A and B are shown apart, each in its own frame.
Chain A
Amino acid sequence: MTTFFQQIVDGLTTGVIYAAIALSLVLVYRTSRLVNFAQAEMATLGGFLAWQLSDWGVPFPLAIALAVAASFALGATMERTVVRPLHEAHNELALFVISLGILVVLINVEAWIWGYQVKAVPLVIDGPAVSIGSVLVSRQKLVIVAVAIVIAALLFVLFQRTRFGLAMRAAADNQPSARLLGLPVNATMTLSWGIAAAIGTLMAILVAPQQFLQPGMLLPVLLYAVAAATLGGIDSPVGAVIGGLIVGVVENLAGTYVPGIGQDFKSAVAFLIIMGVLLVRPQGLLGSKSVVRV
């Protein structure tokens, strides 16, 4: 029984990471109608930046802040330069191919600069694992969960309590109408990309000690994040969080208890979730139906 609870908690703490990357995917999808397959690699790049800065002697908290800020700028720049013209031309195929291109560019740029040697990113907090009842959780994981909760809360406030957040939601809902009302649609798009990239980078830095920082570090996470976003609804931020947690738990339990899957083949669970959800309920748990219309 203890193992079971331990598995659930492990699944949830992993699920938080999936949820964060899924949230990035959703933010970008809502503005640009693109599932940005380069999202996870942009996060990894941010992880490298933080490592590099701290390796140059910048204090780690400051290095994190700078890396997150740089990622925000990178995401925003990508939206303004490459993505927006194609989005406005409704060229979804080109957007998709370019997101693959950016993924490949980022992996190889990272490999060129930093190589495949795993970089040791420090933990933000050290010390023995904390026990809650009979379940053990490492301190770093608790930090990850706390950071994720803060991110979710900030996004909630932004979306639900601010004027600009209202404009972001309106622009995601119906872009032509939002433009007719004079809402700052372009600014919402740029900001969404920036926020998505910043969230990814923050998560990448926090998971780097356990995932081993090297090019392509978060590619396995990308698979689960896509599954999470699909399950929750590709245009629903709340769905992304719920989807991430569910995928984390299911994947972990399946790896332990379902015969024939095992720890190495857990990724099949993500594939089955994506396929199953898209066939049975294409809009996911909380997504809007309009997404499904071709």
Chain B
Amino acid sequence: MSLLTVDRLCAGYGALRVLHDVSFSIEEGNVTVVLGANGAGKSTLLRALSGMIPATGSIELDGYELLSGRRRRPIALLGIGHVPEGRGTFGGLTVEENLRAGGYHRPRGEVERSITEWFELFPRLAERRDRLAAGLSGGEQQMLAIARALMARPRLLLLDEPSLGLAPKMTGTLFDNLRAIRERMDMTVLLVEQNAHLSLQIADDALLMTAGQVGPRRPAIALREDEQIRRAYLGA
């Protein structure tokens, strides 16, 4: 069943239009990766989905149209969590406060329980719970940003370039962690990632994006085998 259905989505920055009639859908419970060259509009797509930039067309989340209505509600309340490019952690807040901010709209008891769960899953964060987020390493900040977004229990998680600026070893750990999270909870993820090799391993589906347009959805496993894709994105 499709959780998110996007139809003829157009968006951009001022006069510059980046997305041209983008249409696709993603399946509930799946990880869908968006692959594409620099400047293809991958981050713009996520920004349009989460309402950071104005867009036209249709974005339907589980049957609820996000682009209708005069004023868009905060996406966190609609069930979308967005981990932006560059992570966007609150550097001046402690690790724990970052998580609390993520759970702002949930009842206090649930927040406490979730925080405990996250600290069990990531002992690194637990050790640093009272430290300022600015003092964490890039990989730790990325995990914190993901955990913070998941504190709101989103139906759909948008992940923008999580491996950006991380050392290869950290990137490996990050994807291991993502896998661990998937095992713990059902989640639907739309992932934008430069590292096609790792992301195709974790993903169920893949979308190819070129020049502001999205191609048909394909199983990730098929792309892993596809000679052309290998050459274009995997550098093999």
Contact = CB atoms under 8 A, between A and B. Distances in A.
A182 B74 contact: yes
Interface string A204-222: 0000000000000000000
Contacts of B93: 166, 169-170, 173
| Most chain B CB atoms below 10 A, which of A172, A173, A176, A183 | A173
A263 interface: no
A173 to B, nearest CB: 4
A90 interface: no
B155 interface: no
A180 B76 contact: yes
A6 B91 CA distance: 42
Contacts of A169: 90, 92-93, 97
B149 interface: yes
A173 B88 CA distance: 10
B104 A182 contact: yes
Nearest to B148: A181
A290 B88 contact: no
B121 interface: no
A173 B92 CA distance: 6
Contacts of B89: 174, 177
B104 A183 contact: yes
Interface size classification for chain B: 20 to 34
A179 interface: yes
Interface string B70-101: 00001111000110100011111100010011
Given A167-B101, A176-B52, A182 B75 contact: yes
B152 interface: yes
A12 B50 CA distance: 50
Contacts of B104: 163, 166-167, 181-183
B152 to A, nearest CB: 7
B102 interface: yes
A166 B148 CA distance: 14
Contacts of B75: 180, 182
Given A166-B97, A166-B100, A166-B101, A177 B74 contact: no
Nearest to A163: B104
For the complex of A and B, list the 10 residue pairs with the smallest distance between their C-beta atoms, beginning with the closest.
Answer: A182-B76, A182-B74, A177-B88, A173-B90, A170-B101, A173-B92, A180-B82, A170-B90, A182-B77, A181-B76
Interface of B: 50, 52, 74-77, 81-82, 84, 88-93, 97, 100-102, 104-105, 134, 148-149, 152
16 contacts: A163-B100, A166-B93, A169-B92, A170-B90, A173-B90, A173-B93, A176-B52, A177-B88, A178-B101, A179-B74, A180-B50, A180-B75, A181-B148, A181-B149, A182-B152, A290-B91
